[in-house]
Copies of this chain bind each other. A is one copy, B any other.
Amino acid sequence: MATIKDIAQEAGVSLATVSRVINNGPKVGDATRKRVKQIMLEMGYRPNANARALVTQRSASFGIVLPELSDPFFATMAHGIESVTRKIDVQILMSTGSIEKATELKAIETLLEHRCNAMVVHSKALDDATLINFAKTIPGFVLINRYIEEIGNRCVWLDNIAGGQTMARHMLNQGHTKFVIVSSKYQIDDPVDRIAGIKQELAENGITLSPDMIEYSTPDQEGGEIAMQNFLAKGTEFTAVLAYNDAMASGAMTMLQDHNIDVPNEVSVIGYDDVLLAKYCRPKLTTLRYPIEMMAVKATELALQYAAGTVPEADCTFKYAPTIVKRESVGKAIS
């Protein structure tokens, strides 16, 4: 592959001059510039991004770490990030860490080896201290979907407690009093906070939730089915189902329908996330909108700014609140 040297030779100029025309440097004669450009084209010259990164001490690629791509939620997140990097002609270096301490750590370190100076990371398994440490040493380090007080200005996150409250309130408004929760078995912040929010809202309305009104399962459709199956098997009485996410909500609905229980006339179901399937399933799912794409965009812009030297204000953070999307799966409580 042709190098800067080759084309310098061919054009009969020095390396420096070629370098200047590549970077649109200021001090180059018009004729020279034109001739060099022509030769670059002819020889199919492509700047070597690695050499460039080495000498400039900055990579042209933006790092992202996320658990996986097959989940539409993360795909949407990646899409948000990509929508801003695309505009500024920056490539994405993707590292996956499957919600395990070791892999998440490795994912970040790989990005560091590539000298990415801006990155948005989704980490659930690593502890606060580790993340704080990264934030201290990497200017363009931004966390998404996580809040750590000490580095609040590096966090773009969703208020899951408020989310839980909103879910519960909506059901309460419809007259429901008998609740069950279909939750995730993975004890990361998210399910914990959402349940806390729900309990809080219910408590304010004089309702307490006993532990056996919560089923924990895998956060996918099958998990939702299993959880609902368990409630049904136990003979639990309820009219309102609060799910950890849309997939679980959908699974729960399927299981209800399989038992000839009508949604929403007999039982109401509410999801969380508002991913595509919420619109596709029948009845269409009432759910909470998780503005992940918007948040991803924000996180990316933030990372870019910080990496460029903007000093973040100390006392700020980027908190988002989920909003309710009313569709068809929630109805008035039967009295």
A residues with a Cβ closer than 8 A to B are 46-51, 53-54, 59, 61, 68-72, 74-76, 78-79, 82, 86, 91-96, 109-115, 221, 250, 276-277, 279-282
- Alpha-carbon gap, A110 to B91, bound state (A): 8
- Alpha-carbon gap, A190 to B85, bound state (A): 29
Residue contact A91 to B91, C-beta cutoff 8 Å: no
- Alpha-carbon gap, A282 to B75, bound state (A): 24
- A92: min CB distance to chain B, Å: 5
- Alpha-carbon gap, A70 to B279, bound state (A): 15
- Alpha-carbon gap, A332 to B254, bound state (A): 24
- A117: min CB distance to chain B, Å: 11
One of B46, B47, B94 near A91 (C-beta < 8 A): B94
- Alpha-carbon gap, A47 to B113, bound state (A): 6
Task: Knowing A48-B115, A113-B46, A115-B48 are in contact, say whether A79-B69 is a contact too (CB < 8 A).
Answer: yes
Residue contact B69 to A59, C-beta cutoff 8 Å: no
- A204: min CB distance to chain B, Å: 34
Residue contact A79 to B86, C-beta cutoff 8 Å: no
- A132: min CB distance to chain B, Å: 15
Residue contact B46 to A54, C-beta cutoff 8 Å: no
Most chain-B CB neighbours within 10 Å: which of A79, A114, A279?
A114
3 residue pairs, one from A and one from B, having the closest CB atoms? A75-B75, A282-B282, A70-B79
Return 21 A-B CB contacts under 8 Å, by A number.
A48-B54, A49-B113, A50-B59, A50-B114, A54-B54, A68-B82, A69-B69, A69-B79, A69-B82, A70-B75, A70-B76, A70-B79, A71-B75, A75-B78, A93-B93, A94-B94, A250-B280, A277-B277, A280-B280, A280-B281, A282-B282
